[in-house]
Structure 1
Amino acid sequence: MSEGEYKSLKIEQVSPTSNVFNIILNLPKTLNALSPSFFHEFPAALYSLDHNPSAAVIILSAAGNHFCSGIDLHSLSNTILPSHVNSTDRGRSAERLRREIKHMQDGISAVEKCRKPVIAAVHGGCIGGGIDVITACDLRVCTKDAFFAVKEVDLGITADLGTLQRLPNIVGYANAMELALTGRRFSGSEAKDLGLVSKVFDTKEDLDLGVRAIAEGIAAKSPLAVIGTKSILLKSRDLTVDQGLDYVATWNSGVLISDDLKEAISAQREKRKPSFSKL
């Protein structure tokens, strides 16, 4: 999928010499609601940047006044639900609906399958499906006036795109339970206290500058070390400590022989910035 074919987002390189790229949610008229096209285009954009040697870190941000207002309920009701509601075969109807849900889940899980770190930069509202998206990201930062809500319970549905699976690992089980059951709105400062975001910036301009600085700092590090760190942390969620240690031992036995280690040691010895090859 070429860049011009995206309907719900756009890709921009921070600068011609930067290894940081932006994926920008680009449906401001709907407050960047997650449309059916998003679930095709978002994983395609991530795949494209994951296989782009010039891309080391990805920033996920949004156009307009809000990050994401959740699932586009109008599109959902027009394109997904009618075919299941009107079906006379309940078994086949349920199977098709399950397949649609799995497709949308895969669209968001693509963040974790992307080797490159993905940093969510949130301003304005981040509601429902927006929480699904940012909890799949590797780092999250926001503006002081950002606000969040796990809103699905107020729509009569159970959140099914990842929030209930990922949020407890980020903010703790009890906090996740309270946020998901109440559907209440909470602020950027509370999100920081909960651990959902790691930094809060005063303005959108500060956010843009701050998240770029974070991304550029990561992009300057060994790409093998960065993708290894992401992979090991994600894998270790599902492993015991002993299993995780065994996994990282196997990982490092394959990559420690790279030139990155030599370059990092030489740079420290020579008191200069290291220069690593692209992936």
Structure 2
Amino acid sequence: MQRVVRSLSRPMATATRLQPATSSTLPRIVRYSSTSASDSYEFIKVSEPRARVGQVTLNRPKALNALSTPLIKELNTALRAFQGTPSIGAIIITGSARAFAAGADIKEMAPLTFSRAYLDSFIENWSELTTSVKKPIIAAVSGHALGGGCELALMCDLIYCTTSANFGQPEIKLGIIPGAGGSQRLTKAIGKAKAMELILTGKSFSGEEAEKWGVAARSYPDHESLMKATLDTAETIASYSRVAVQACKEVVNKSQDLGVRDGVDYERRVFHSLFGSIDQKIGMTAFVEKKKAEWFHE
């Protein structure tokens, strides 16, 4: 690898900049602990259960992890902290075995008026993770993922779930509609006919169906096996070049906004741009020399 770096006139000391950074402006992140929580949070737990993997666990057990404004603010803060931590390569959002998130906090929503919801842009910040976090996010879903919980999972880049997980957009039963992207993302995932039926009837669907329909990438028999598989996948993703991983996420997400021809043109431009990265040189040289690539993430 030294020959590659010298050919690019880059000193080996560059690797020093890749060591985990600390900042007094970021909430403290507990390292390599699957259960310890940051003292900064009330409604979530933050940990690094594997090297280079960050995890946010929703933690309102009495409310089945119902999503409230305070919880979403904490979630966004934790995700921004992971985004700003160079050592983190992938992020997991999960709940408990009983509930990923059983919906939005109805007690918070019930008294809202149109003008208050409109002027305050109610739940707009729920979608912050789709714009502010460039690192891949995996949703690990057990139990209920209804309403806002289903929408939160759909915002993530990848969903793993248990076969018995309970997904759905039951807002029709409350006299409202999905408000955090459910009608859009669910329709893109499963098609108009199935999405229309689910949203108009409020019916739920299982984790087994979620995998069959393409909502989830994989389903597992229980919470324990779900979390192991999710951690394994997150660890694998985090082991690759951060530059290439971010580019992969970018082009796949762009496919949801562009037609095929424009999407392929966009992909090709990003593909060309990666030939300006150090990691492309390192990766291809390591492949030719049958060595393990040691990424610079540059």
Q: What is the TM-score when the length of structure 1 is the normalising length?
A: 0.87
Evaluate the alpha carbon distance shift between residue 46 and residue 103 of structure 1 in structure 2; reply closer, same or farther with a 3 A threshold. Answer: farther
Taking only the aligned residue pairs, the percentage that are identical comes to 34
Q: Hey, which bits of structure 1, 4+ residues long, moved more than 6 A? A: none
Query: 2:119 and 2:88 mapped to 1: Cα distance?
Result: 32
1:226-252 deviations in Å (ceiling 9; x for gaps): 111111122232223333233334434
Matched, 1:198 2:217: yes
Residue of 31, 40, 52 corresponding to 1:19: 52
Shift of 1:261: 1.0
Q: Which residue of structure 2 aligns with residue 207 of structure 1?
A: 226
In proportion to residue count, which structure has more helix? Answer: 1
Where structure 1 has 5 or more consecutive residues not aligned to the other structure, the ranges are: 85-92
SS at match of 1:14: strand
Q: Secondary structure at the match of 1:126?
A: strand
Provide the residue aligned with 2:43 in structure 1.
Answer: 8
Structure 2 vs 1, CA of residues 244 and 99 (structure 1 numbering), >3 Å: closer, same or farther? farther
Tell me which of 156, 164, 170 is aligned to 1:137.
156
Describe how 1:20-169 pairs up with structure 2 within 5 A.
20-63=53-96, 65-77=98-110, 81=112, 84=113, 94=115, 96-100=116-120, 102-169=121-188
RMSD: 1.9
Matched-pair contact (CA < 8 Å) for 1:36–1:76: no
Question: Distance between the aligned counterparts of 1:13 and 1:178, measured in 2?
Answer: 39
Q: Deviations over 1:2-54 (max 9, x none)?
A: 24222221210013xx1111011111111000012023222222111111101
CA–CA separation in structure 1 for the residues paired with 2:226 and 2:243: 27
Counterpart-to-counterpart distance in 2, 1:184 and 1:145: 15
Residue segments in structure 2 that go unaligned for 5+ positions in a row: 1-25, 28-37
8 A contact 2:94–2:100 mirrored in 1: yes
Cα gap change, 1:118 to 1:68, in 2 (>3 Å): same
How many residues end up aligned between the 2 structures? Answer: 263
Answer with 198-207 or 58-67: which moved more.
58-67
**SS of the residue 2:99 aligns to:** coil
Partner residue of 2:249 out of 212, 216, 230: 230
Task: Give 1:181 deviation, angstroms.
Answer: 1.0
SS at match of 2:69: coil
**What SS is found at the alignment partner of 1:167?**
helix
- Look up the equivalent residue of 2:49 and give its one-letter code: V
TM-score w.r.t. the length of structure 2 is 0.82
